Amino acid sequence: MSVLVNLIAFVVALGLLVAIHEFGHFWVARRVGVRVLRYSIGFGRVVWRRTGGDGTEYALSAIPLGGYVKMLDEREGDVAPEERHRAFNRQPLWARNAILFAGPGFNFLFALFAYWAISVIGTTELRPVLGEVVPESPAAEAGLAEGQEIVAVAGEETLSWDDVLMRLLAEGAGNEALSLAVETPDGIRRDLTLDVAAIGPLGEKPNILGALGLRPWRPTIEPVVGELLPGGPAATAGLTAGDRIIAVAGEPVDEWQTLVEVVRARPGEAVDVTVRRDGERREFAVTLGRVEGEDGDTGRLGVRPRVEDSAYAGMRRTVQHGPLAAIAQATGATWEASALTVKLLVQMVTGDASVKNLSGPINIAQYAGQSATLGVVPFLRFLAIVSISLGILNLLPVPVLDGGHLLYNGIEWLRGRPLSEAAQATGQQIGLVLLGLLMAVAFYNDLARLFGPS
């Protein structure tokens, strides 16, 4: 994945979501009569600015990692007597709360729109049919077997592997067992119980399905090179698209999965790769690449298979809804993603989930680039998740965030008067420290994922 693609996708994604968040504050402030002095996206050096006819300055800065809406406020400077009714601090509590909540609220609305668009556009999903089930794994103990299709998790219908993963995360975290409904190839439905506690916290598993012993069905793919990764070991050695790989390091290869297993077991090794090209047998000396992972290093050849569409016949389904039906689907998806995010945050605070789940800008940029290259629907899904995370993060009761200001307003409502400026300033300092620690942990996690096993 190109670093440039990651960077561009990250800037576009974060810039868009920050702009939406700040526009929520801006739009509601204007509606309740507060004067907005500045609407700014980004920090650092201003690269563009314009003053509108309404007197608001609109600005774009060089670092798209945030933004702000500056409103008229007597606590930040002198305000002319004729303008005091338009100052933020002069507004009733309900109006100030509405302005503060509008930023996160617009993030949730955007996620709702993104999920609605995905539902209307439609997606082609791989049915959650099981391939080989690992012996003596939680899946095998539950009675799951190859060829069964998972049709429900915890009572909720699952149409794809994405649905299965989401339900496992949402319902499995904190629970010892999960109910599954499967359908056998001959149409018989069975209800099973999966022991998820046996593998520890699901949120810490990079491969939840593998940890449970589940392997999605896959077709038998011929070991024919469909595409070579530029600069990869195979391309460097001289392999070309269309080569049929028949042996690696002397081990026969009869299908693509065998090739994967043989290569993965030899990280960094120099091996002979035997291929059949135009009816002739040829050998190439290849130094395999090395990929670091939690379970140790694995080898990489740098090739992708040639897969015929007919290989997936009957295993794909199109999931699509009309504009009205998509509203219910989008609402459910937004609620489920929001609830899962809150649940994981709570579990990180209580120690039931690891802080390794936190992601920083590096990891987010990688996901942004990957989703953008996969197409509109994956990028929209990525934007929806990040938008929800941004909304929930800003609602945390931490001073300097929207949730912290809402907390101050709640205290003011209970006391009948606001906190002193000194108390609020102390709270802001504490909030900055907490936010700094949060970002430090997220950045550390990014580096740990990037440079080695975590």
Which residues, other chains included, contact 415 with Cβ-Cβ below 8 Å and sequence gap of 6+? none
Positive or negative: CA dihedral 297, 370, 61, 102: negative
| Residue 162 parent element (H or E) | helix 161-172
**Termini Cα distance of the chain:** 21
Q: How far apart are CA 446 and CA 357, in angstroms?
A: 10
Cβ–Cβ < 8 Å for 231, 300: no
Which residues, other chains included, contact 354 with Cβ-Cβ below 8 Å and sequence gap of 6+? 201, 203, 204, 348
Closest-CA residue to 43 (of 61, 59, 58): 61
The C-alpha angle with vertex 347 and arms to 345 and 350, in degrees rounded to 5, equals: 115
Cβ–Cβ < 8 Å for 286, 262: no
Active-site position among 22, 76, 292, 308: 22
Tell me whether residue 22 is one of the annotated catalytic residues: yes
**Residue 160 DSSP one-character state:** S
Cβ–Cβ < 8 Å for 279, 260: no
Q: What amino acid positions are annotated as catalytic residues?
A: 22
